[in-house]
Amino acid sequence: MDAKVVKPGHTNRFFILQETNINYSMNRIELSTIDTRAPKEFDKREIKEKTEKIIEELDELQNLLFAENKHSVLIIIQGMDASGKDGTIRKVLGNMNPQGVTVKSYKAPTPEELSHDFLWRIHRYAPPKGTIQIFNRSHYEDILITRVHKWCDDETAFMRMKAINDFEDLLQKHNNTHILKFYLHISKEEQHERLIERTHNPGKMWKYNEKDFEESKLWNIYMEMYEDCFNNCANPPWVIVPSDQNWYKEFVIATRLHTLLTGLKMQYPGLKKE
């Protein structure tokens, strides 16, 4: 396998959720060292109650974001197959006003999209002020699955990483867009159980794709490519979300979004002057 792309002398930041706080680290991220489960002292019932309260408050905060019309939010959700991306979006963000929240799911590029640069299909869905845009998978697929399957060499991947950094910098500095990047961190064992469940649970059979089992065999390579992604595209830094337990995953993401929105100190506009 080709050597991983890491820019010499490049210092990165990323988020790790530890206990009740999201802490900064200046070290290179290694997913194998990060737990995929909630801290043992956390009570499931208590955390779920807190999450429900936070979600209620998020509805009002999103309305305030829409009314003030000064900021926008881009939420990027990445993760291995069966990590719970769809469920997270439905649970944490499903109660918000659909006038101000949209979801874009990225799959394999169409022929038209392939005829453009790789960010062309991404930039057109960047959120306007007052709105929250969710990417279910994202531009990071172009430096993840493409490298795993050798559709993209390391030199091209590094150029794409630079382009991604410039793109996210543009959104943040020139359109007041606040970016949250979540990686749903599940264990290989948990993924296998969830994929198997899709073969016999009637409510989840529609998600079944035999190719998911083939992709799961490439687990270790995916982890390396994700680590490169986290360490080379770290402004804003990633939130690594322990995701073996849905209740904890939802709590982490809801809390992080709530912290962002309350920190904006938004206010409802007054009466417009004629």
Instruction: Label residue 274 by pLDDT band (50, 70, 90).
Output: low
Band of residue 49 on the pLDDT scale cut at 50, 70, 90: very high
Share of residues in the chain with pLDDT > 90 (%): 84
User: What would the mean pLDDT of 169-173 be, rounded to a whole number?
Assistant: 98
Give strand pairing partners of 101: 132
**CATH code of 81's domain:** 3.40.50.300
| Domains of the chain: total | 1
Does any domain span residue 8? no
Closest by CA position to 181, among listed 109, 257, 81: 257
Range(s) of the domain holding residue 96 = 14-263
Residue 5 has pLDDT above 70, yes or no: no
Residues 57-66 have a mean pLDDT of 98
What is the pLDDT at residue 207? 87
Contact 186, 35 (CB under 8 A): no
Tell me, yes or no, whether 178 lies in a domain: yes
Nearest of 229, 226, 166, 240 to residue 14 by alpha carbon: 240
Confidence of residue 12 (pLDDT cuts 50, 70, 90): very low
pLDDT of 20 strictly over 80: no
Mean pLDDT of the chain: 90
What is the per-residue pLDDT across 179-221, written as a single tens digit (0 to 9) for each? 999 999 999 999 999 999 999 989 889 989 888 999 999 999 9
Contact 165, 235 (CB under 8 A): yes
Q: Could you tell me if residue 268 is inside a domain?
A: no
Rounded Cα distance, 78 and 106, in Å: 11
At 3 the pLDDT is: 37
* 115-157: pLDDT as tens digits: 999 999 999 999 999 999 999 999 999 999 999 999 999 999 9
Q: Could you give phi then psi for residue 263, rounded to 5 degrees?
A: -70, -15
| Paired residues of 122 in beta bridges | none
Q: Is residue 3 part of a domain?
A: no
Instruction: Give the pLDDT score at 272.
Output: 79
Q: Is residue 274 part of a domain?
A: no
Q: Is residue 80 part of a domain?
A: yes
Structural domain includes residue 125: yes
> In the prediction, which pLDDT does 21 show?
38
Residue 74: which pLDDT band, with cuts at 50, 70 and 90? very high
- Residue 167 inside a domain? The answer is yes
In percent, the amount of the chain with pLDDT more than 70 equals 90
155 vs 192: CA distance, rounded Å: 33
Flag whether pLDDT at 19 surpasses 90. no
DSSP string, 178-246: EEEEEEEE--HHHHHHHHHHTTT-TTTGGG--HHHHHHHTTHHHHHHHHHHHHHHS-SSPEEEEE-SSH
Q: Concatenated DSSP letters for 104-135?
A: EE--SPPHHHHTS-TTHHHHTTPPPTT-EEEE
Nearest residue to 126 via CA among 69, 157, 170, 81: 170
Q: Does position 172 have pLDDT exceeding 70, yes or no? A: yes
pLDDT at 92 over 90: yes
Question: What pLDDT score was predicted for residue 8?
Answer: 31
pLDDT for residue 16 is more than 70: no
Global pTM value: 0.90
Token couple for 258: 């709530």
- Distance between CA atoms of residues 154 and 162, nearest Å: 12
